[in-house]
Amino acid sequence: MSCWCWWLVLIIGFEPLHVLLIPIDNALTGTPVINCGDSVISISVGTRNSFYGNIYAKGFFQKEECRRIGNGVQQNINIVLPLNEGCGIRRKRMVNPRGLMLETTIVIMFHRIFLTKVDKAFHIKCFYMEADMTVEQSLDISAIPTTELFDSRDNAAREALMPTCKYEVLKGGADGEPLKYAIIGEVVYHKWTCSGVYDNIYCMTVHSCMVDDGQGNRHEILDEMGCCTDRYLLNDLEYLDQLSAGQEAQVFKFADRPSVFFSCQIRLELRDEVSGQCDVSEFFVHSFDGIGSMVSDYSYRTDGI
């Protein structure tokens, strides 16, 4: 007796499973606003709805100093990244134009825990410029002078605002009044100062000072390194701080000329990233202290001049 066995093969087809995901109902309302400060970089963003996610420096999500969490109420959020708190801000020296470039990447994350396709990342750049500028001063001898001050400010489209510098001739020391009259042999104070929004990241060096009579006769009194070249006219400058310098001198003039014109250059540089000091200015402070006892006595006769 033979038996036949039949196998029934049942083939069941499965339809692909489609999952409908609900996207996060939020987005940026514009481009983030960047503010490059002297010790921090701040980034402000606006969102269409209340923000309850995170904004952070890429690679530093776990570091509280480098992340800001939305409260779920506000539609604007601001993160402040300190330059020296290890948030991955990269520094790069630039040659043309001279200065320091700071770079970082921020991530705007709308979900509290996960990255999703609506999130955004931005590469942030801040440029701090170094510059050379020239300030000039004219001094009329034995007459009421007309003083010209040419302020120099960074006119490029840069995030950093350059300090404004000026040159004054004062009567009565560093805190004296601007000079109105001058007599040969009178003691006056030459003062150079710079100030600005971010002046605590810069240092200055006064150099390449020339004096002329307005008729083509010129004489150097400070060289390109800021060292004096004629101690009878002007000694090495004393740097009072990183952005001010000065020195006493006696009034002099060219023979048969009623006016003396001074022209100096001021070099602005970024302070050292580690020490925060200015090597050039420190050198002059120390060298001035060392030669403070070296005084040259001289005088001018005014009779018949």
Between 102 and 95, the higher pLDDT residue? 102
Instruction: Express each pLDDT in 243-288 by its tens digit.
Output: 899 999 988 888 777 778 888 888 888 877 666 677 654 433 333 2
Average pLDDT over residues 217-237: 90
Residue 9: what pLDDT?
A: 33
Residue 163 class from Cβ within 10 Å (0-12 exposed, 13-18 middle, 19+ buried)?
Answer: buried
State the Cα–Cα distance between residues 213 and 109, nearest whole angstrom.
66
pLDDT of 218 > 50? The answer is yes
Residue 196: what pLDDT?
A: 78
| Domain locations along the chain | 33-129, 131-290
Residue 20: what pLDDT?
A: 53
Residue 268: count of CB within 10 angstroms of its CB: 23
**Least confident span in 68-72, 143-147, 225-229, 266-270:** 143-147
**Least confident span in 55-59, 142-146, 281-285, 295-299:** 295-299
Q: The domain at 131-290 falls in which architecture? A: Sandwich (2.60)
Residue 112: what pLDDT?
A: 85
CA distances from 239 to 170, 226, 227, 288 (A): 16, 11, 12, 9
- For the chain, give the percent of residues with pLDDT over 90: 15
Mean pLDDT in the chain? 74
pLDDT of 18 > 60? The answer is no
Residue 295: what pLDDT?
A: 23
Task: Give the range with max mean pLDDT: 107-116, 208-217, 229-238.
Answer: 229-238
Average pLDDT over residues 222-242: 90
Task: Give the residue among 151, 159, 147 at the shortest CA–CA distance from 102.
Answer: 159
Residue 155 CB contacts under 8 Å (≥ 6 apart), including other chains = none
Token digits of residue 8: 């029934």
Instruction: Express each pLDDT in 134-192 by its tens digit.
Output: 666 666 655 444 344 433 334 443 434 677 888 888 888 888 888 767 788 888 999 99
**Least confident span in 57-66, 133-142, 230-239, 248-257:** 133-142
